[in-house]
Amino acid sequence: MASNRLRARPDRFTRPSASELADRLGLLRIRDVEAHGIPRPRLRVELREVAPGIWGRGGRSFSRTTIAAKGVPQAVVCLSSALYFHGLLSEEPPEVFLAIGEKARRPRRQQPRLRVVRFSGAALSEGIEHHSDFGVPVRVYSVAKTVADLFKYRSKLGYPGAVRALRDSLLAGLCTPEEILRFGAICHVTRILAPYLEVLMARHGAEIQAAVANRRTLTAPRVGASSGPGNLG
């Protein structure tokens, strides 16, 4: 009995505090706390509950998108929420759009409010980017994939939003026409998307090419950098 207590003692001294773990992981779930041997009561002492079962530092402001990504890590941020994450919407949607597989279990989380869509095949697996917001891993579809998805969901989310995302993403140099056409084919919306793309290129082709070239010049790999809406000033 005594030897067991002696073996357990170093863990109590070496395990991180809840605050230290939150500094590393950004947001914590109960499983994170249990994996590091932190007593649950320390959560309420050191952190604040940003959503049911999700805890973070009191001085940090986490977007609904990032909280949802922590709560449902197997899903992919998509559609309007992906636009917001990539800086193409000024206001975060009231619901977080998440994509899951056709046979995946639907998330039960009530907060933040989720709007779940089901993708399959390449439409589910292609175009996923891996970002970090305050240390929280965020899986989100690329800008080009998101534009194609918006055209696919035009009847539910509206044509104007899809066309605006197409224009804004190209003029900002966030993707290329070729990338959009590639994902348009994957999402089976090339016939619908292509005419809008042709008009944009006819009117703003030089601006789009310059924006893409400028983006490639300025963008460099940032090892360990944190990205996402939570880190924008």
| 23 part of a folded domain | yes
| 158 part of a folded domain | yes
pLDDT of residue 109: 79
- Which residues of the chain fall below pLDDT 70? 1-14, 218-233
| 105 part of a folded domain | yes
Examine the fold and report which residue of 141, 168, 185 is the final residue of a domain before the chain moves on.
141
Examine the fold and report which residue of 82, 109, 141 is the final residue of a domain before the chain moves on.
141
Q: 209 and 151, same structural domain?
A: yes
| 7 part of a folded domain | no
Q: 132 and 81, same structural domain?
A: yes
**Whole-angstrom distance, CA of residue 45 vs CA of residue 207:** 53
Q: 164 and 117, same structural domain?
A: no
First to last CA, the chain: 54
pLDDT of residue 219: 58
Q: 158 and 135, same structural domain?
A: no
Q: 123: Cβ–Cβ under 8 A, 6 or more apart, which residues?
A: 149, 152, 186, 187
Q: Check residue 90 and report its DSSP letter.
A: S
Q: How many domains does the chain have?
A: 3
| 227 part of a folded domain | no
Q: 118 and 81, same structural domain?
A: yes
- Burial of 127-159, coded b for 16+ CB within 10 Å and e otherwise, reads bebebbbbebebbbbbbbbbbbbbbbbbeebee
Q: What angle do CA 122, 123, 126 make, to 5 degrees?
A: 60
pLDDT of residue 181: 97
pLDDT of residue 217: 76
Q: 173 and 204, same structural domain?
A: yes
| 1 part of a folded domain | no
| 2 part of a folded domain | no
Examine the fold and report which residue of 141, 167, 182 is the final residue of a domain before the chain moves on.
141
Q: 157 and 92, same structural domain?
A: no
pTM of the model: 0.84
Give the range of the structural domain holding residue 188, as residue numbers without chain letter: 144-219
